[in-house]
Amino acid sequence: MILLFMMSIIIIFISNFIMFLSLILSKKSFKDREKCSPFECGFDPKSSARNPFSLHFFLITVIFLIFDVEIALIFPMITSFKMVNLIIWTKTSFFFIIMLLIGLYHEWNQGMLNWTN
CA Rg value for the chain: 26
Share of the chain above pLDDT 70, in %: 76
Q: Which residue from 30, 54, 34 is spatially nearest to 42, judged by alpha carbons?
A: 34
pTM of the model: 0.47
Q: What is the pLDDT of residues 57-102, one digit of tens each?
A: 777 788 888 878 888 888 888 888 888 888 988 898 899 889 888 9
100 in helix, strand or coil?
helix
Beta-carbon contacts of residue 47 (< 8 Å; ≥ 6 apart): none
d(CA 56, CA 66): 15
DSSP H or E stretch at residue 4 = helix 2-25
Q: Give the model's pLDDT for residue 16.
A: 95
